[in-house]
Chains A and B, each alone.
Chain A
Amino acid sequence: MENLVNDLFGQFAFLQKLGYVPTAAIVMLACGLVVLNFFGLMSGLFTFFERKVAGWTNSRRGPNRVGPYGFVQFMADGVKLILKEDIIPAAADRSIFKFAPYLLLLGTALSFVVIPFGPKWIIGDLNVGVLYLLATGSFTVVGLIMAGWASNNKYALLGGMRSAAQIVSYEIPNALAILVVVLTAGTMSMQGIIRAQAGGIHHWFLFSSPFSFLAFFIYFISAIAEINRVPFDIPEAESELVAGYNIEYSAMRFGVFFAAEFGNIYVISAVAVTCFLGGWQVPLLEVGDLGPVGRGLGIFLGRGDVLTLMLAVALGISMLAWKALRAFVWDVRRKQAFFGSRFVRFHSELLVLGLLFAGGALVLVLHVPLRAHLPTIYRLIFQYLVPFLVFFTKAMLLSFVVLWWRWTLPRLRVDQLMGVCWKYLIPIGFACLVGQGFWMWLFS
């Protein structure tokens, strides 16, 4: 953040006229807006994504009525939640009841501050980034207990108590697993941890040693437990507690609980990607000092037209291949549908191809006046867009695993839950920490 403010302050004259403090304030406000909106969008998308995955695992389709493939469903849900009546029980502790969901939301939204999107895209690269993440994660338990207590409902209170027991227990293996990473990377800054994993897939902490490999699973399990997701969702176990801590909530206050929960999915996958899966690093194509393949691609960077055309052709071919795969391998019954009878079906591919080529042609035409700036543009793309997409893809894949778990595994009993934490994750976590120390002593 400081870097960003300094950069902007140095580059633009009108900001210097404005003064340093107002500039910093504006940048802070803008960053806050971006982060909150990204958070809202992510949690919205995850509600949709979760329903889709739920449908798929049940051989259903999931939502597919609002917008293309039901993509805008989450907006419809949000509008509905906002318009509904917000009921507060008469016996509830009003101020705490009203405040609790926002505290939960605050914890999640604050985590987004240290989540990197690229080598230069991060709101605040704190030197204690990981510690900060653990701290913001604890907001959840306070929010849940407040919600449970203020509702004045025995089920809500039970849910809150359970969540306290669970989250406090699971913070230990969570911290232990992250400690392994901190030990290996030698830093707590998120960007520092990612930079420590540079140089190919075998340098990612997931694969760099058997102990950090185990630590990844410990982190992932305990993080899922910490955000109260199935199979560790005993605070909101429907079969036992009706709905748990959020039983008395309605309308958007209820929605805020879910926004926080779904935002947390992205947070834990992003942290797992940062700590174990190399963050925004691409194997063989290291951003920054472009790796071997990156250097080869560098020849094309000056030739934007060729690159774009190749990209368009590759996209078109892969799209056709995808459709053919679907038609022939996955859906044998509709073999003829691909070629002959279904004109619309075939037509759609042609349409997409045409659009791609039109886009390519547009870039071809545009690149003539932009020729002088092309290296800058491609540098920007490689420094900002590509790392972001890489990071985002990795995080989304991990999030899919989280959703996938939810629709596969049954809920744990309370004693089993505590058993998993105290008997298995924590001892193994300590063993990993010590083992990683020995590993580093042996091999470096």
Chain B
Amino acid sequence: MKVSEGIKEYFGNIYESVTTISMGMWITFKTALFERKVTLQYPSHDILKGESRDASLPKQKNLLPPFEALLGASQQNYRGPLNTQLTERYRGLLGYDELKCISCLLCAQNCPIDVIRVKGVKIEGRKGKAPTTFRIDYSKCMFCGLCVEVCPTDAVFFTRQFEGATFEYRTLIREFISPELYLERLQLAEVAKKKAIEKKKKKQENEEKEQ
């Protein structure tokens, strides 16, 4: 290597390092001070605006330090309640529509860990059986989705609710049929039973008459 080439390389190295370092530093400077932050401050954001939160779950306290709330810093980058930003097939906590259920017990039978417990009675004016008990134990559920797949009427489905944390184990066992409805159903079922027996009797009488 000639001496002139060596000198060229030496100063070229200095030039290159200065320019590349300043370019890199400009990029990080821009990012640090002018770019929008991507952090989603999950609990605080959702709480400040989250109208769509499930009202049946206990409300969480505002976790923000008061100073930050005062300056409104937490409201930056708000992209709507978190529930609306989940993917289409998100597997949240299991939901249940009592009106659609026919108490066919498919979900309970398909559940690999006996999370679901269903009981139903026959009442008037309703297809299939009407549920008197529908209980899901969220502490056991592993969100496999077998119950959802198998349900013929889409009564069991995945919600977008994902905040299942509680302080006590038993609060994770959720009854979807209220005690009042349960009693009402039982009464209706008895009525239906009586009617059915009467129907049977009438049928028998009719048959006897015919004979």
- What is A's interface to B at a CB cutoff of 8 Å? 53, 55-61, 64-69, 330-331, 334, 337, 342, 344-345, 348, 351, 404-405, 407-409, 423-424
Contact = CB atoms under 8 A, between A and B. Distances in A.
Given A68-B67, A330-B34, A57 B72 contact: no
A404 B28 contact: yes
A121 to B, nearest CB: 31
B25 interface: yes
Interface in B20-46: 21, 24-25, 27-29, 31-39, 41
Closest 3 CB pairs of A and B: A68-B67, A56-B32, A345-B72
Contacts of B75: 337, 342, 345
Contacts of B37: 56, 59-61
Given A69-B67, A348-B72, A57 B38 contact: no
Interface residues of B, number: 30
Given A61-B39, A68-B67, A408 B24 contact: yes
A224 to B, nearest CB: 12
Contact of A59 (B31, B63, B69, B72): B31
A68 B28 contact: no
A337 to B, nearest CB: 8
B51 to A, nearest CB: 15
Contacts of B32: 53, 56-57, 404, 407
Nearest to A58: B31
B65 A68 contact: yes
B113 to A, nearest CB: 36
With a 10 A CB-CB cut-off, give which of B41, B69, B71 has the most chain A CB atoms. Answer: B71
A64 B68 contact: yes
Contacts of A348: 70-72
Contacts, number: 70
A344 B62 CA distance: 16
Nearest to A407: B28
B187 interface: no
Contacts of B14: 424
Given A64-B41, A348-B71, A408-B21, 10 more contacts: A56-B37, A59-B31, A59-B35, A59-B38, A61-B39, A69-B67, A344-B72, A345-B72, A404-B32, A409-B21
B84 interface: no
B28 A57 contact: yes
B72 A408 contact: no
Nearest to B72: A345
Contacts of A409: 21, 24
Contacts of B21: 408-409
Contacts of A337: 72, 75
B153 interface: no
Nearest to A326: B76
Nearest to B35: A59
A334 B21 CA distance: 34
Contact of A56 (B33, B67, B71): B33
A173 to B, nearest CB: 14
Given A61-B37, A424-B14, A69 B68 contact: yes
A39 to B, nearest CB: 27
A64 B41 CA distance: 10
A61 B41 contact: yes
Contact of A408 (B28, B33, B34, B68): B28
A68 B32 CA distance: 20
